[in-house]
Structure 1
Amino acid sequence: MSPRRSYDQYCSAARALDAVGDRWTLLIVRELLAGPRRYTDLHADLPGVSTDVLASRLKDMERDGLATRRRLPPPGAAYVYELTRRGGELLPVLQALGKWGEGELGERRPTDALRAHWFALPLLRGLAGEEAEDAAGSGGAGLVEVRLDEGDFHLYVGAEDGPVYGEGPAPGEPDARLVLDADTCTAVAQGELSLLDAVRAGRIEVAGDSPLAKALREA
């Protein structure tokens, strides 16, 4: 394994970029925020990354204590990568970067890949926003299933440990189910529309009887 490159600057921002500033590293973190992932799954959901670069970044992340690799018990018996606690602490960094980049999103280009679960972090920002938190109060945490034409995913709102989202329908009965289209998701991701305003405008259908679902409908 090659030695990690460094800016050789006695600055915490520079030290952080020593660990996560390489191309693809933060996007790998984005994928691993969904929980343990196989190498093949990571490669499929990171279109454009070469196998050599992905393998190299994962090794770097293991070395730097951001991710670990382990073998699943039978019958799976596959190797998976997952974030360490320190790797999971990059969630607010990614959220801040996503918020800063809202104005950069613009129109989707013909060459732009899209995965439904890439909307997970913008929707989590919406659900964790001040207005949404005020509306939901103590009922603001829970499991939320999101249904899009492009695919389903689920969110762990208020999660302090473990995955913050996952692909596919929620495991078990969700506290709330959101049904919306990609245009609405894009408007929320671009900062043009708040999640609660989308609910009020009828662009997001909210189902469920939990305090969280009721708070979203009644906000």
Structure 2
Amino acid sequence: MRRKGFDQYCGLARALELIGERWALLIIRELLAHPGRYTDLLDELPGIPTNVLSTRLKELEEAGIVERRIAPAPQRGVVYVLTKAGEGLEAAVVTLALWGNGQLGEYQTGDRVPPSSLAMALRATFNRDTARGLTASWEIRAAGAVLHAVITDGHLTSGTGPAPTEPDLVVTVPGDAVPPYREIMRAIKCGEVELSGPPSLLDTFARVFTPRAI
């Protein structure tokens, strides 16, 4: 059942009416990282009941936060994407994630790290001043997860999946499980990664993406 309104003329109350239901923000996190099909979202959100996913997507569509589009070739079917209003939630999602990182405790072997959370971490740690005027692209691979970070004249585009064009540097992080962002950055700074491309771009990456409470 749809949550009743709070009967308050308040932006926070209205936001909670629209995106405060269980799983809604995690669906938005996934779509911030990459448009996805219904089956993609089921795979990326283990534990979400199919009826809940269907309901949340319908609610988010009705709220003008998510819309359906025909997938471009060679894919088939429908993909869910964020509208402009949905994309406007990025700063709030990143801020909540940064706050939540302080409540996580220590990483334990076996903990699942969603690739979409790594994409959000890239955006959270992006140093615009350091990247001013820079054009470069990276693809990060870790235990089956693939991320991309593309900087064009100082502007960042990042998400899950391969880079839209051939990346300047491919960075492969060793291990059998997707590690937390801070572990990826530690491996990069310590040189404990495999590279395909100019090694100097690894140092550039470490400078441009500066972890803070991730």
Q: What TM-score bracket applies, with the shorter chain setting the length?
A: 0.7 to 0.9
State the shift of 1:10 in Å: 1.2
Deviations 1:34-77 (A, max 9, x none): 33211011111111111111001000100111010133367644
2:14 and 2:100 mapped to 1: Cα distance?
Answer: 22
Q: Which amino acid aligns with 1:201?
A: C
Residue 39, structure 1, aligned to residue 28, structure 2: no
**Residue in structure 2 matched with residue 174 of structure 1 by the alignment:** 167
1:218 and 1:17 mapped to 2: Cα distance?
Answer: 36
How many residue pairs end up in the alignment? 204
Bigger CA drift: 201-210 or 33-42? Answer: 201-210
Bigger CA drift: 96-105 or 207-216? Answer: 207-216
Asked if the contact 1:175/1:209 (under 8 Å) is kept, the reply is yes
Q: RMSD across aligned C-alpha pairs, in angstroms?
A: 3.4
The runs of 5 or more residues in structure 2 that have no matched partner are 209-214
Label 1:42 to 1:218 Cα distance change in 2 as closer, same or farther (>3 A).
closer
Bigger CA drift: 52-61 or 65-74? Answer: 65-74
Q: Which amino acid aligns with 1:153?
A: L
Label 1:73 to 1:150 Cα distance change in 2 as closer, same or farther (>3 A).
closer
Identify the structure with the greater helix proportion: 1
For 1:2-41, what aligned pairs fall within 5 Å after superposition? Answer: 5-41=4-40
Q: TM-score, normalised by structure 1?
A: 0.75
Label 1:205 to 1:13 Cα distance change in 2 as closer, same or farther (>3 A).
farther
Identity of aligned residues (%): 36
Q: TM-score, normalised by structure 2?
A: 0.76
Aligned residue among 135, 144, 147 for 2:141: 147
1:108 and 1:154 mapped to 2: Cα distance?
Answer: 24
The runs of 5 or more residues in structure 1 that have no matched partner are none
Asked if the contact 1:147/1:179 (under 8 Å) is kept, the reply is yes
